[in-house]
Amino acid sequence: MRPATEALIVVDVQNDFCPGGALAVPGGDDIVAEINALLDQFELRVFTQDWHPADHASFASNHDGNDPYSVIDMPYGAQVLWPDHCVQDTHGAAFHPDLDTSKADHIVRKGFHPEVDSYSAFFENDHETETGLDDYLNAKGITAVTLVGLATDFCVQYTALDAAKLGYKVTVLEHACRGINLDGSLEEAREAMLDANVVLEK
Ligand code: VGL
Ligand code: ZN
């Protein structure tokens, strides 16, 4: 059992990020059994769920003439445009069927404001709007977080960097994460996390 001050954050293990999904991460479903096995080591388990409205600004389909995986400027900075994914209340937005969600103490849904994306479980991509997770973890006395899930180079990375900025001790279990890897984004993410004193465990 890990210390009671440490929480597990399971990031976006949803059908659309698994093989067959709209934004499939290679090997995304390979980590499900491993994550299930980790759940009992932690007294506090938080799951996150990407949860977009159909008119979400991160969808290429909502920008005339822009292809998926192109990058545009949004008021809060650069935004990759994605295929439509994790639309609220669809099968793609549901957790992977084998993920043991009965053990979730708290679920953070993010990305539901149409005009701003939210990779991190703590702040939307404007780096200002809070999801409430920091308050929740503080109220529970959590000082360290361990991250697993999808995708290493987007939602896991952003969550790790915000957690570090907020003062948590952060560990990413790389064997229980999988990445998208757009133009070298996986290696960039690893370097950014190491620079922020995030511990990467193979
Ligand atoms: C994610 C791209 C778009 C993620 C979410 O979970 O890493 N990536 N939305
Ligand atoms: Zn998304």
* DSSP label at residue 150: E
pLDDT tens digit sequence for 40-66? 999 999 999 999 999 999 999 999 999
Of the candidates 40, 25, 23, 146, the one whose C-alpha atom is nearest the C-alpha of residue 86 is 23
177 a catalytic residue: no
Per-residue pLDDT band at 121 (split at 50, 70, 90): very high
- Tell me what the mean pLDDT of segment 20-30 comes to: 98
Ligand 1 pocket check for 124: Cβ under 6 Å: no
140 a catalytic residue: no
**Structural element, H or E, at residue 194:** helix 185-195
Of 3.40.50.850, 1.10.3720.10, 3.30.70.580, 3.40.50.12280, the CATH number of 6-52+89-201 is 3.40.50.850
CA–centroid distance, 40 to ligand 2, in Å, is: 28
pLDDT of residue 196: 98
Its ipTM equals 0.99
Structure-token pair, residue 97: 């069927």
pLDDT of residue 48: 98
Which backbone phi and psi does 194 adopt, to 5 degrees? -60, -40
SS3 18: coil
Ligand 1 pocket check for 150: Cβ under 6 Å: yes
pLDDT of residue 99: 98
- From 84, 110, 153, 162, active-site residue: 110
Measured from the Cα of 58, ligand 1's closest atom is: 3
SS3 3: coil
Per-residue pLDDT band at 81 (split at 50, 70, 90): very high
Give domain limits for the chain: 6-52+89-201
pLDDT tens digit sequence for 134-179? 999 999 999 999 999 999 999 999 999 999 999 999 999 999 999 9
12 a catalytic residue: yes
Query: How large a percentage of the chain has pLDDT more than 90?
Result: 100
* DSSP label at residue 144: E
**pTM for the whole thing?**
0.98
pLDDT of residue 102: 98
